[in-house]
Amino acid sequence: GGGGGGGGGGKASSWLMFVSKSLLEQGKSVLPVCLFLMGFQVIVLGQEVKQYKELLLGLLLAVVGLALFTFGLLNGLMPMGERIGLRLPSILPLSSVLFIAAILGVAVTLAEPALGVVKTAGSLIQPQHAPNLHALLHSRQDLLVLAVAAG
């Protein structure tokens, strides 16, 4: 009866708290990286930071995108993985479970969004300016993926 309206408000406020907390957490993650890159650009490369509007919009979109990604992981992928992880050992031998875990580990590494971003950013690297970085991001991507997977 009368308690139904209060429960909906509680869900809405807890969802808003989750969203604001997630946005704040992602902002705390993205901002230091951005500030570091801006400092690197100015101090090491000697280049002026330009296009502030685009930079701020990109930061905002990155924060929102990461928050949505986190929400999807926490509410979709992780619960499904947990259900599978709880059931799998009861129906398969340990060697099969370990094999599946290894395959999933490699697949998750290959699907890592940050690696895709790094590879895309690598297309901007000129070989004469950073030959090792260019090689790593172009002809030696296998080493990059392996290093990330091992880490």
Rounded to whole angstroms, the Cα distance separating 131 from 94 reads 45
Same domain? 54 vs 24:
yes
Same domain? 58 vs 28:
yes
* pLDDT tens-place string over residues 12-42: 788 788 888 889 999 998 889 888 988 888 8
How many domains does the chain divide into? 2
* pLDDT tens-place string over residues 5-15: 445 567 778 87
- Sort residue 125 into left (φ over 0), alpha (ψ -120 to 50) or beta: beta
> By residue range, what is the domain housing residue 131?
92-151
- 58 belongs to a structural domain: yes
Same domain? 117 vs 71:
no
Same domain? 16 vs 75:
yes
* pLDDT tens-place string over residues 80-128: 888 988 899 999 999 999 999 888 887 877 777 666 677 676 777 777 8
Rounded to whole angstroms, the Cα distance separating 30 from 24 reads 10
Cβ-count burial 113-130 (b if 16+ within 10 Å, e if not) = eebeeeeeebeebeeeee
The mean predicted confidence, pLDDT, of the chain is 81
Q: DSSP alpha helices (H): ranges in 44-129? A: 52-72, 78-91, 94-111, 113-122
Q: Please report, as a single letter, which amino acid is at residue 110.
A: L
